[in-house]
């Protein structure tokens, strides 16, 4: 095993890690980013979904969450993390969520006003804005239905200025329009001197007497074998994402409130068949979300490819696949709930890179998913859908609003549900309420002088919206606080409320 | 008190030689040279001796296949190179004391594969543990067939302790490598950076050496090859029985195989002279064979065991131009990490997709709505599914493989044929009952395979073209 050193090591290069690296590099700190996945060029992006999943996704997109209802979890494993494969949808943390976090977790410096400069910075950095052109058909029919229902909705701003609608967000944007971290924040961090090591998995954070002293990192050897190296560091920011951060900390012996409070947004998908040709496989995903029932419920549209459609239809039963012939008339939508169940993340005793993720969908989650399905189906049918096929095994396609309305009062059978999620968080919550949190309000782990979390795992609980904006804003707030405490070159225009 | 290294080596050699001498004396007492000559004079070596040698050599060919498999994730060895590596180890053990062959074998493996030396040594150790377990199994089988032989139980007890402990260590390293690494790291951290680095590096190489067994299917494959190795070696012991007018009893051959090979674990001279003869002879006398005949058999078995492999090993050394010191030195050389180059780290080549088994390919074909002539799309989907299933967390992967084993067993019971050999329509109907049936557990077992099959199949260019012919037409027009 060889040995190397850096002043600050950032583990992970997603929304949290990239922002951390950028602000550290900007302050002149010697920073090393260690990323488990690989660096890819634009030429690598936009490949077929199976190839993209192999290159860019953790476990080829097959990360299971076990529990009462098994849930498929998808996250990125490449330079830039999940920001390379998400939709780029952008939300600020809702005011009421921030208030709840401040009250329940005693989270300091988390008011809407305190976070405003950080959200503004991130939005400028990523060019967050509206689509700016005529909506694609899959959005129009959805909006039509929502309007008929009389609900409020919004076009969600995206971090994708100049998006050409290639429908390849989930495969890595081949045009470079979507501002994944590798194109934007990390590129700037590297320009300012941050070093980035890819293809390197952190096996353990070395901790002793309340201090992190370094890391053990596994690197691919020249013949495909693994080589271990030790990286010494003065400070360590763990930004490996909501599942890998707690797993790494736990197996390093850092366990206080680590990995015991995982929250997710469970999603139930539906395929909707219309009379019109939507050609959803040729356009950007549906751009509007219903926020009428937020934060408990969000209705929106999902990525659409022939493979995604086939997979979704098959979750309803074998017969669903016959609808593949109507590919051009179909689109995929979802109901997402805030998630009130509880979950945990632990390093697996078994296996080489195993992380055991468990989440028990609560009865409340099932209730909201049922209500959400009813409302989503009503809106889609009102918008002209001929049938709505949910990912609920054996549930007949919903063809009339009265059929859909049944689920406003009844709960879907949990054993028949097929759920997915792309949003996980809260596995190392921050705040001053030590009985509930793993780290202080700015991400420093309790009992440690120099070990921090700064990614989705720090969010105290479900934000109820796409979390990239929240992660970036909180990450920047935290790293500026770190620089402040450390006395490093803080820029005068940055005023921390 | 710490002894100098040179003195330790000398002591080891002296103990080995003394052990060989003692076992030779014990084997020869009460026997006359005249009796031995008489037995040999009446022995019929043709065709039994060539058969025995061929069987023994075939076993080494399979050992080569096993070694190749064990390092296949990290290094690409040809079958002949892997076999030569194994043979070199055996040959060196035959001419040098203190089982130096194991080090030589690990050294050559490190040299040819580029793997770290400890990693290679772990692979060699792993092969030894697997061998031990199969030998114990052979003794169990022999004991069932020869219940009156007390020697079986004694050997099983002694071998069971040695290989039980070793197997337990291997299982921990296979099943919980990350935990083992964390344990090693945390316990050595207070000992200073230098010790910590060394301990962690060694642990990493050890867990890397056994990593191939991490997937149940792969572990079964390796165990199967190990069983085949010893089936061939048992063939050697079996073939030599008729040479001395003894009945070719597989149980006796397994007994001789097990007792002899476990017996030669005792330190002895190069080539295991003494212990080999003593334990082989003891195995035969325990089933009523006369002492002179048993010893003659042991001498012939030892010659079949010794001469061909030693000769082959010498040829390997000549062919590869090996000098052991160089090999070991090269294998131990460290490569420093150049963090200064970190920024420029390019994307490494993605690992090649997993090759799907015939079963998985047949399963994917049954799960997707492929039409005639869409074999390429099915192949593409099967490759993706194989990779996706391989990426499952270890615990779920094991459960999935167990479930699939159950499915295959039930298929064989139901149709009296393997799943892959069923006609497509029957396969589809059968799989549909599992993947889309009322039983939640069966649906969950098939969910990963079903979902990934459908996803990958419908993303294949051929299928996209079928679903959206107008796009293909547009592309052709565009290209024109």
Tell me how many residue pairs between chain A and chain B have CB atoms under 8 A apart: 224
Tell me, what's the pLDDT at B353? Answer: 54
> Can you tell me the distance from the alpha carbon of A53 to that of A42, in angstroms, rounded to the nearest whole number?
15
- pLDDT of A222 over the 70 cut: no
Burial of B334 (0-12, 13-18, 19+ CB in 10 A): exposed
Helix (H, G, I), strand (E, B) or coil at A292: coil
User: Encoding tokens for residue A255?
Assistant: 């366990």
Which of A32, A204, A281 is opposite residue B182, by nearest beta carbon?
A204
> Can you tell me the distance from the alpha carbon of A161 to that of A140, in angstroms, rounded to the nearest whole number?
21
Burial of A489 (0-12, 13-18, 19+ CB in 10 A): exposed
Helix (H, G, I), strand (E, B) or coil at A141: helix
In terms of DSSP bridges, do strands A226-238 and A2-11 run parallel, antiparallel, or are they unpaired? Answer: parallel
User: Encoding tokens for residue A225?
Assistant: 């074998």
Least confident of B55-64, B130-139, B318-327, B430-439: B318-327
Higher-pLDDT residue of B32, B221: B221
Query: Kind and range of the H or E element at A26?
Result: helix A15-26
Tell me, what's the pLDDT at A161? Answer: 95
DSSP β-bridge partners for residue A382: none
CB A391 within 8 A of CB A418: yes
A25 — contact with chain B (CB < 8 Å)?
A: no
CB A379 within 8 A of CB A286: no
* Residues of A annotated catalytic, as ranges: 423
Give the pLDDT band (50/70/90) at residue B354: low
> Can you tell me the distance from the alpha carbon of A83 to that of A186, in angstroms, rounded to the nearest whole number?
11
Which residues of chain B does A52 touch, with a Cβ-Cβ cutoff of 8 Å?
none
pTM of the model: 0.79
B458 — contact with chain A (CB < 8 Å)?
A: yes
> Can you tell me the distance from the alpha carbon of A356 to that of A377, in angstroms, rounded to the nearest whole number?
34
> Can you tell me the distance from the alpha carbon of B352 to that of B450, in angstroms, rounded to the nearest whole number?
22
Picking from A32, A40, A60, A194 by the largest number of B CB atoms within 10 A of its own CB, the best residue to mutate is A60
- pLDDT of B362 over the 50 cut: yes
Q: Are A352 and B454 inside 8 Å of each other by CB?
A: no
In terms of DSSP bridges, do strands A419-421 and A71-73 run parallel, antiparallel, or are they unpaired? Answer: parallel
- Phi, psi of B202, deg, nearest 5: -65, -45
Tell me, what's the pLDDT at A333? Answer: 97
Q: Are A356 and B395 inside 8 Å of each other by CB?
A: yes
A43 — contact with chain B (CB < 8 Å)?
A: no
Which of B73, B369, B388 is opposite residue A60, by nearest beta carbon?
B388
Least confident of A24-33, A151-160, B343-352, B461-470: B343-352
**Of chain B residues 93-152, which have a CB less than 8 A from chain A?**
113-116, 119
Please state, in angstroms and as integers, the Cα–Cα distance from residue A37 to each residue in A179, A422, B323, following that order.
18, 18, 40
> Can you tell me the distance from the alpha carbon of A345 to that of A359, in angstroms, rounded to the nearest whole number?
9
Query: In this predicted model, what pLDDT tens digit does every residue of B180-204 receive, in sequence order?
Result: 888 888 888 888 888 888 888 888 8
Contacts of B366 (CB under 8 A, 6+ apart): B424, B427, B428, B430, B431
Opening angle at CA A421, ends B390 and A219, nearest 5: 45
Please state, in angstroms and as integers, the Cα–Cα distance from residue A51 to each residue in A57, A167, A294, A424, following that order.
10, 15, 35, 24
**Of chain B residues 253-282, which have a CB less than 8 A from chain A?**
none
> Can you tell me the distance from the alpha carbon of B195 to that of B185, in angstroms, rounded to the nearest whole number?
10
Which residues of chain B does A53 touch, with a Cβ-Cβ cutoff of 8 Å?
384, 388
Tell me, what's the pLDDT at A158? Answer: 96
Residue with tokens 């900390």: A249
User: Encoding tokens for residue A451?
Assistant: 């070990």
Name which of A181, A120, A126, A131 is nearest A156 in CA terms. A131
Tell me, what's the pLDDT at B3? Answer: 62
Residues of chain B with pLDDT > 70, as a percent, come to 89
Opening angle at CA B32, ends B27 and B33, nearest 5: 95
State the nearest Cα–Cα gap between A380 and chain B, in angstroms. Answer: 24
CB B13 within 8 A of CB B98: yes
Query: In this predicted model, what pLDDT tens digit does every residue of B301-342 receive, in sequence order?
Result: 999 999 999 999 888 887 776 555 554 444 344 333 444 334
Tell me, what's the pLDDT at B323? Answer: 57
Q: Are A1 and B200 inside 8 Å of each other by CB?
A: yes
* Torsion A291-A294-A299-A300 (CA) sign: positive
Residues of chain A with pLDDT > 70, as a percent, come to 95
Please state, in angstroms and as integers, the Cα–Cα distance from residue A432 to each residue in A233, A381, A495, following that order.
26, 47, 22
Minimal Cα distance from B465: which residue of A? A306
A49 — contact with chain B (CB < 8 Å)?
A: yes
> Can you tell me the distance from the alpha carbon of A181 to that of A84, in angstroms, rounded to the nearest whole number?
7
A48 — contact with chain B (CB < 8 Å)?
A: yes
Query: In this predicted model, what pLDDT tens digit does every residue of A265-304 receive, in sequence order?
Result: 999 999 999 999 999 999 999 999 998 898 889 999 999 9
pLDDT averaged over chain A?
A: 92
Residue with tokens 């680095």: B197
Tell me, what's the pLDDT at B108? Answer: 84
Q: What is the 3-state secondary structure (H, E, C) of chain B?
A: CCCCHHHHHHHHHHHHHHHHHHHHHHHHCCCCHHHHHHHHHHCCCCCHHHHHHHHHHHHHHHHHHHHHHHCCCCCCCCHHHHHHHHHHHHHHHHHCCCCHHHHHHHHHHHHHHCCCHHHHHHHHHHHHHHHHHHHHHHHHHHHHHCCCCHHHHHHHHHHHHHHHHHHHHHHHHHHCHHHHHHHHHHHHHHHCHHHHHHHHHHHHHHHHHCHHHHCHHHHHHHHHHHHHHHHHHHHHHHHHCHHHCCCCCHHHHHHHHHHHHHHCCCCCCHHHCCHHHHHHHHHHHCCCCCHHHHHHHHHHHHHHHHHHHHHHHHHHHHHHCCCHHHHHHHHHCCCCCCHHHHHHCCCCCCCCCCCCCHHHHHHHHHHCCCCCCCHHHHHHHHHHHHHHHHCCCHHHHHHHHHHHHHHHHHHHHHHCCCHHHCCHHHHHHHHHHHHCCCCHHHHHHHHHHHHHHHHHHHCCHHHHHHHCHHHHHHHHHHHC
A305 — contact with chain B (CB < 8 Å)?
A: yes
Helix (H, G, I), strand (E, B) or coil at A106: coil
């Amino acid at each position: 095993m060889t040995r190397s050193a850096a002043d600050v090591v950032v583990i992970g290069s997603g929304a949290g890690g990239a922002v951390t690296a950028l602000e550290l590099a900007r302050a002149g700190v010697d920073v090393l980013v260690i990323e488990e996945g690989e660096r890819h060029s634009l030429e690598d992006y936009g490949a077929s979904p199976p190839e993209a999943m192999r290159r860019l996704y953790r476990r080829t997109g097959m990360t299971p969450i076990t529990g009462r209802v098994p849930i498929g979890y998808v996250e990125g494993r490449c330079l830039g993390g999940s920001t390379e494969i998400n939709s780029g949808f952008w939300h600020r943390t809702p005011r009421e969520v921030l208030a709840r976090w401040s009250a329940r977790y005693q989270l300091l410096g988390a008011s809407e006003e305190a976070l405003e400069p950080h959200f503004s910075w991130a939005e400028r950095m990523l060019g967050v804005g509206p689509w700016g052109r005529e909506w694609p058909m899959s959005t129009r029919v959805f909006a039509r239905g929502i309007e008929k229902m009389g609900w409020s909705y919004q076009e969600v701003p995206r971090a994708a200025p100049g998006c050409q609608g290639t429908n390849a967000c989930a495969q890595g944007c081949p045009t470079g329009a979507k501002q994944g971290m590798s194109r934007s924040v990390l590129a700037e961090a590297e320009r300012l001197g941050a070093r980035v090591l890819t293809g390197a998995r952190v096996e353990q954070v070395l901790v002793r007497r309340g201090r992190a002293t370094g890391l053990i990192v596994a690197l691919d050897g020249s013949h495909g074998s693994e080589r271990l190296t030790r990286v010494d560091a003065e400070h360590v920011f763990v930004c490996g994402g909501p599942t890998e951060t707690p797993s790494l900390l736990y197996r390093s012996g850092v366990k206080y409130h680590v990995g015991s409070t995982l929250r997710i947004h469970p999603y139930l998908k539906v395929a909707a068949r219309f009379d019109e040709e939507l050609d959803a496989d040729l356009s950007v995903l549906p751009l509007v979300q219903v926020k009428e029932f937020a934060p408990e419920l969000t209705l929106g549209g999902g990525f659409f490819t022939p493979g995604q459609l086939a997979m979704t239809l098959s979750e309803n039963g074998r017969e669903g696949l016959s609808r593949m012939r109507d590919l051009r008339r179909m689109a995929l939508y979802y109901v997402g709930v805030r998630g009130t169940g509880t979950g945990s993340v632990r390093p697996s005793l078994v296996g080489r890179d195993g992380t055991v993720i468990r989440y028990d969908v609560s009865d409340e989650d099932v209730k909201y998913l049922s209500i959400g399905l009813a409302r989503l189906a009503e809106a889609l049918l009102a918008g002209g859908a001929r049938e709505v096929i949910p990912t609920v095994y054996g549930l007949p396609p919903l063809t009339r609003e009265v059929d859909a309305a049944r689920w406003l009062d009844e709960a879907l059978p949990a054993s028949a549900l097929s759920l997915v999620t792309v949003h996980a968080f809260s596995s190392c919550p921050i705040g001053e309420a030590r009985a509930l949190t793993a780290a202080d309000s700015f991400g420093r782990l309790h009992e440690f002088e120099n070990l921090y979390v700064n990614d989705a795992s720090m969010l105290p609980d479900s934000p109820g919206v796409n979390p990239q904006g929240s992660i970036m804003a909180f990450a920047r707030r935290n790293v500026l606080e770190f620089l402040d405490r450390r006395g490093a070159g803080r820029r005068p225009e940055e005023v921390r409320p | 008190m710490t002894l100098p290294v040179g003195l330790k080596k000398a002591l080891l050699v002296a103990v080995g030689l003394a052990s060989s001498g003692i076992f030779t004396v014990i084997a020869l007492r009460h026997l006359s040279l005249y009796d031995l000559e008489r037995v040999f004079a009446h022995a019929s070596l043709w065709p039994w001796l060539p058969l025995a040698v061929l069987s023994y050599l075939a076993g080494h060919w399979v050992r080569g296949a096993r070694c190749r498999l064990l390092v296949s994730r990290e290094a690409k060895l040809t079958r002949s190179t892997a076999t030569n590596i194994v043979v070199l180890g055996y040959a060196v053990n035959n001419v040098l004391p203190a089982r130096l062959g194991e080090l030589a074998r690990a050294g050559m493996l490190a040299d040819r594969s580029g793997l770290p030396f400890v990693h290679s040594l772990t692979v060699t150790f792993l092969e030894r543990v697997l061998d031990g377990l199969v030998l114990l199994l052979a003794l169990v089988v022999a004991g069932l067939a020869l219940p009156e032989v007390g020697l079986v139980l004694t050997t099983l007890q002694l071998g069971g302790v040695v290989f039980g402990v070793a197997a337990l260590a291997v299982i921990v390293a296979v099943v919980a490598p990350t935990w083992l690494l964390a344990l090693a790291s945390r316990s050595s951290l207070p000992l200073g950076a230098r010790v910590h680095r060394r301990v962690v590096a060694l642990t990493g190489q050890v867990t890397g050496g056994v990593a191939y067994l991490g997937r149940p299917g792969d572990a079964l494959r390796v165990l199967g090859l190990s069983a085949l190795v010893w089936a061939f070696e048992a063939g050697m012991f079996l073939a030599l029985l008729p040479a001395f007018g003894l009945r070719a009893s597989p149980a006796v051959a397994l007994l001789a195989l097990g007792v002899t090979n476990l017996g030669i674990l005792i330190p002895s001279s190069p080539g295991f002279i003494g212990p080999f003869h003593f334990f082989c002879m003891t195995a035969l006398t325990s089933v009523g064979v006369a002492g002179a005949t048993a010893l003659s058999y042991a001498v012939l078995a030892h010659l079949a065991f010794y001469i061909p492999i030693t000769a082959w090993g010498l040829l390997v050394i000549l062919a590869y131009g090996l000098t052991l010191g160089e090999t070991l030195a090269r294998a131990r050389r460290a490569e420093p990490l150049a963090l200064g180059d970190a920024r420029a780290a390019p994307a490494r080549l993605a690992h090649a997709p997993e090759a799907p088994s015939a079963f998985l390919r047949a399963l994917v074909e049954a799960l997707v709505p492929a039409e005639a002539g869409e074999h390429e799309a099915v192949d593409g989907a099967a490759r993706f599914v194989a990779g996706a299933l391989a990426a499952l967390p270890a615990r779920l992967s094991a459960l999935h493989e167990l479930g699939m084993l159950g499915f295959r067993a039930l298929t064989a019971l139901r149709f009296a044929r393997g799943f892959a050999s069923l006609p497509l329509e029957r396969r589809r109907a059968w799989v549909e009952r599992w993947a889309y049936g009322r039983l939640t557990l069966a649906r969950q077992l098939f969910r990963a395979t079903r979902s990934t099959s459908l996803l990958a199949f419908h993303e294949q260019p051929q299928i996209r073209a079928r679903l959206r012919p107008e796009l293909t037409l547009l592309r052709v027009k565009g290209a024109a």
